[in-house]
Amino acid sequence: MPITLIIPRKVTMVLLFKGEITDFNLTNRVQDRINDVAFDIERLDESFLWNSYMIGPLLQFRSRLADHERHLLDSSQILSSVIRGFVQSTTIPSPPLKSIPAGLPATLTLISRLSSRRTGTRFNSRGIDDDGQVSNFVETETILWTPPGITFSYTQVRGSVPIFWEQTPGLIPGQQKIQVTRSVGATQHAFDKHFQSLQLNYGEAHVINLLSETKPGELELSEKFRYHSRHSPLRRMSEKGAPSEHHLLRWTDFDFHAETKGPAGYENAMLIEHKLGFSIDRFAYFLSEDPNGDTTPRSKVDEGKSTIILHQEGVFRTNCLDCLDRTNLVQSLISVMVLERFLMQNSYTLPHEFWGRHSTLWADNGDALSKIYAGTGALKSSFTRHGKMSIAGAIADARKSVTRLYVNNFIDNARQNTIDILLGALTGQTAVHLYDPVNDHVMAELAERFTEFSSTKTVRIWVGTFNVNGRPCNANEDLGLWLHAHLAKFPKEPTLVAVGFQEIVDLSPQQIMSTDPRSRRIWEEAVKKTLDRETSRRGTSPYVLLRSGQLVGAALLLFAKEDVLREIKNVEGSVKKSLTAISKTGLSGIAGNKGGCAIRLEYSNTRICFLTAHLAAGFANYEERNRDYNTIAHGLRFQRNRTINDHDAIIWLGDFNYRIELNDNKVRSLIEKGSLEELYEKDQLNLQISAGVTFQDYFEGPITFPPTYRYNNGTDVYDTSEKRRIPAWCDRVLWKGEILNQVEYNTAPLKFSDHRPVYAVFECAILTVDEGLKARLSHELYEKHKKAIETTSSHSESGRTEEVGLIRDVYTPPGLPPASSDRHKWWLDDERDRIYPSNPSRSDRSSNDAKSASLPHRRLASSDNVAPLKSGILLDLDFTEYGNVLPLAKRETSAMQELVELSETPKKKGPPVPQKPLSLTKNPVVDPRFKGKGTAMATRALGGTNADDSTYKPPFRRSTGRRWAPKYTVLERRSITIREVA
């Protein structure tokens, strides 16, 4: 989204040296800023401010300044507001007011403000989010200024249909299918937020729905919209028995294409007037008058002088599918209707030239907004501009349609990325940091007092996976033996339920090449009914379908309790493009029945990701299964470039298809004996995880149930067919995240498939941050430390101020010394500790001692909470994790307390410190207790050999982000031992 301004040099010089550049608030409509006496950056409407991310740190810094300091900053004029949309004015030489003296023209202005809240290109941004923000939301204001100082303003809005829906691009018409991604129960709260915001900002809302009543996708959107409108609080707030005209939310369905199909064409769009006349008169318009009779347009005069005559009391919200072509044409007609009423009510004349300029403004507005969202000018602009549709206009529309196909499929992803960067919406993107010692100290103290404005609660999550082997489902299917099996042990119902299915359709070539949602919807209904039966019996809060996703035969359904919906937001799932949550791994990534489907959400301040996968089949294809996992794990993307690992808790569930590396007779014999441990030792997934080639850093609960594949349908007998498949644990649940605690892992006795369903129950710690309390505490701390630093600075000694003692507590990046001052020089510090540069190569390792004297050193700070060193011990440690060498050359600070503990104990026996770097390797010294369990042991490599030392014990397993995290104790200068920590 490059923005280029080309201004003639002469004009630029005149603007710069004659001071003609003035600040003007374009983010607010006239009605909201009419009484502003000057430009005030604090009154900017952030929802339409497109440079808020860039100036945000400056605004925060400004808010902490004293009044006189703030005035000095404002006088520099470095803070400006930027909107995205359309602004254009045109002069009316013959104004429509008879009493105006000759030679005084009027001005007609059109301003469209595109919201910066939920932004993006056509197929990357559709529908609504959990905060009630909709895609392509635009506020358009028509302003007419006429001498002597009369200002007319009328505002309309447009925006995507306010439900959760998506649409995929495609080069062939008909491929751009509309998908509603949430159930009505999980959508209503966001729908209500959107219209409550409209009601707060504009008053009553009248929705004009221009969608088709015959196209299936558009019809579904209209039906969902009507459902949510009938259940909106803005409808229920009206008095009982009151006519629909008195509701705070009304809507009009106007099938634009059907209404303009006849010989009159688009001229029939004027028929909408008789449906809108009541609301046009009821909403009125904004009108003000300058009592001094000023003859300068509103943007050049002091806006505090005007007398308000009339307020606009409501707003029309127009939408079609894209909110571009049809919407712009209808909005231009509404603008005409309102202007006609204003002019006629005030006995103004109606020159033809005026309406021609009005049409040109609206046509230019439509082209500008269309280029922003769809990449081309608006369709039907010929009619908007000239009042009729010509052959040339039809040809131009066809050319624009073809151009849109190209832009939407090949350019929009890059445009979307640019927009996200501009708004600071990419994952991991950080704003420019303005150095403020007081604020840095406040941030450090806030981190220490985090528990004062945050809380955690434990919620229960149920996940299950079931390969149904292509069996058709009945919507009344009772799945209680699976979905409710855990209630005998854990009576409280889970808050979240994630259900993964595989092979819900027959894998015919036609099915593999496309996704048929009908089967998934039947399974959704079956799961929902099973859950509802239990909640009805208990009288508890029902479940609602948050979102579902499907990849051919694999489907993922996510349900949540209705009473927690307001704590859940940013639910994202499967989209089929580069910003995607589905990776197809079958048939070279083009189509196939193998792959992964993910859904992510934010529960309060905790990010959770669920992913179901169906990996490659075949006994010997474990390497292909590993590749499938890596393809999904590294190629799967959510919006804003989020990855699977950008979450606090991740749960994989599905048919992973890993087998047991024993012959059929041996496996069946061990199953009969109940020797599951011996079977697990030969389980491919266990072996591959132990080798570090798949599912790195993931955990799986103890398997206490027999293999889940392959059974004869309807029986407990393993496969007796001619192929006689070897039984295996194909269906698994793996997880990652310190906030998760698995409390159950089992299978259920549903026997209508050749697989058994598997389920797992987790307890998850949900973090909630009280942002209001955090902001108040931050303000209090800032004022306290600001006063302290002012008091300290006001005292002087021998003509110089005392050193302010905040710098030593400011965060210092690893490997760097604290900032120096007049009284402290880090390079003159006697107590130095040697720190190697990050990631030294092995070849440079031998020369590190010689170089260390010239490297910066960091002194222990009081915040390190570690006793000062009495002797200099240098520990050079290589931590090898599955082949990735992570050199750690660090001193013993609080950050290393998990790995290194200093001790003043007497000398103990132990191996001498090796001359070569100590390494943790994958070459295991296998303890007999762990032999065959796939446990990757860490050991010492002393001179290339593994010392047989009685003090050595296998390290314990901890969920710390690394699979193995042993602790070391430095007992004295020349000895080191490895001990097991309980």
Tokens found for residue 654: 């599905």
Contact 611, 598 (CB under 8 A): yes
Determine the distance from the C-alpha atom of residue 509 to the mean position of all C-alpha atoms in its chain, rounded to a whole number. 35
Confidence at residue 641, expressed as pLDDT on a 0 to 100 scale: 82
The residue whose two tokens read 């992973």 is 656
Q: Is residue 628 one of the residues assigned to a domain?
A: yes
Q: Is residue 786, in this structure, part of any structural domain at all?
A: no
Give ∠ CA 654-659-660 in degrees, rounded to 5.
Answer: 135
Which residues of the chain have a pLDDT value below 70? Answer: 1-23, 35-38, 94-103, 173-175, 236-246, 291-305, 350, 386, 507-515, 574-593, 792-982
Rounded CA-CA distance 460/121 in Å is 38
H-helix or E-strand spanning residue 925: none
CB atoms within 10 A of CB 663: 10
Distance (Å, whole) CA 346 – CA 351: 15
> Would the CA dihedral through 773, 775, 776, 782 be positive or negative?
positive
Residue with tokens 């179901």: 612
Q: How many CB atoms lie within 10 A of CB 312?
A: 20
Give domain status of residue 785, yes or no: no
Q: Which amino acid is at 784?
A: K
Q: How far apart are the first and last CA of the chain?
A: 56
Does residue 299 sit in the same domain as residue 399?
A: yes
Residue 272 lies in a domain: yes
What pLDDT score was predicted for residue 195?
A: 96
Beta bridge partners of 431: none
Structural domain includes residue 441: no
State which of 410, 433, 448 marks the end of a domain. Answer: 410
Q: Are residues 498 and 398 in the same domain?
A: no
Beta bridge partners of 495: none
Shared domain check, 823 and 748: no
Q: Are 303 and 33 spatial neighbours (Cβ–Cβ below 8 Å)?
A: yes
Q: 826 and 907: one domain?
A: yes
Q: Which domain holds residue 500?
A: 458-768
Residue 386 sits in the same domain as residue 488 = no
Residues 851 and 957 in one domain: yes
Residue 143 backbone dihedrals phi, psi, to 5 degrees: -120, 125
Supply φ then ψ for residue 66, to 5 degrees. Answer: -70, 165
Q: Quick one: 406 and 487 in the same domain?
A: no
Contact assessment for residue 30 and residue 289, using Cβ atoms and an 8 Å cutoff: no
* Total-model pTM: 0.72
Cα–Cα distance measured from residue 69 to residue 57, given in angstroms and rounded to the nearest whole number:
16
Q: 3-class SS at 731? A: strand
CA pair distance 718, 708, nearest whole angstrom: 9
Domain termination site, one of 768, 783, 803: 768
Instruction: Provide the pLDDT for residue 106.
Output: 86
Q: CB of 167 within 8 A of CB of 179?
A: yes
CATH of the domain at 567: 3.60.10.10
Residue type present at position 238: S
State whether 241 and 103 are in the same domain: yes
280: closest CA among 331, 239, 229, 354? 331
Determine contact, residues 306/34, Cβ cutoff 8 Å: yes
The answer to whether the beta carbons of residues 790 and 774 sit under 8 Å apart is no
Strands 150-158 and 138-146: antiparallel
Q: Which residues contact 717 (CB under 8 A, 6 or more apart)?
A: 711
d(CA 385, CA 363): 5
Which residues are CB-contacts of 723 (< 8 A; sequence separation ≥ 6)?
A: none
700 shares a domain with 632? yes
Determine, yes or no, domain membership for 196: yes
581 and 492 fall within a common domain: yes
Coil, strand or helix at 237: coil
Split into its structural domains, the chain has a count of 3
Asked if 643 contacts 672 with a C-beta cutoff of 8 angstroms, the reply is: no
Query: Could you give the angle at the alpha carbon of 181 between the alpha carbons of 177 and 184, nearest 5°?
Result: 125
The residue from 410, 437, 466 where one domain ends is 410
Neighbours of 686 (CB within 10 A): 21
Assess whether 527 and 618 both reside in one domain.
yes
Nearest Cα to Cα of residue 505 among 593, 609, 378: 593
Angle at 521 between CA 515 and CA 525, to 5 degrees: 160
Q: Give how far Cα 263 sits from Cα of 257, 259, 268, Å.
A: 13, 11, 9
Is 776 part of a structural domain of the chain?
A: no
Q: Which amino acid, residue 773? A: L
Nearest C-alpha neighbor of 249 from the set 273, 279, 223 = 279
Tell me, yes or no, whether 12 lies in a domain.
Answer: no
Distance CA 784, CA 886 (A): 42
SS3 content of the chain, % helix, strand, coil (to 5): 35, 20, 45
Q: Reduce the DSSP state of residue 325 to 3 states and report it.
A: helix
Classify residue 377 as exposed, middle or buried by CB count within 10 Å of its CB (0-12, 13-18, 19+).
buried
Helix (H, G, I), strand (E, B) or coil at 780: helix
Cβ proximity of 858 and 834 under 8 Å: no
Strands lying side by side in the sheet with 740-747: 543-551, 554-561, 496-502, 454-467, 758-769, 740-747
Q: How many Å apart are CA 182 and CA 568, to the nearest integer?
A: 13
Q: Is the dihedral of CA 912, 938, 917, 970 positive or negative?
A: negative
Is the same domain home to 221 and 133?
yes
110 forms bridges with which residues in the sheet? 88, 142
What would the two tokens of residue 447 be?
């981190």
* 606 vs 585: CA distance, rounded Å: 29
Q: Which residues contact 663 (CB under 8 A, 6 or more apart)?
A: 726
Give, in order, the Cα–Cα distances in Å from 604 to each of 498, 566, 568, 569, 887.
18, 9, 6, 8, 36
Q: Give the separation between CA 454 and CA 770, rounded to whole angstroms.
A: 6
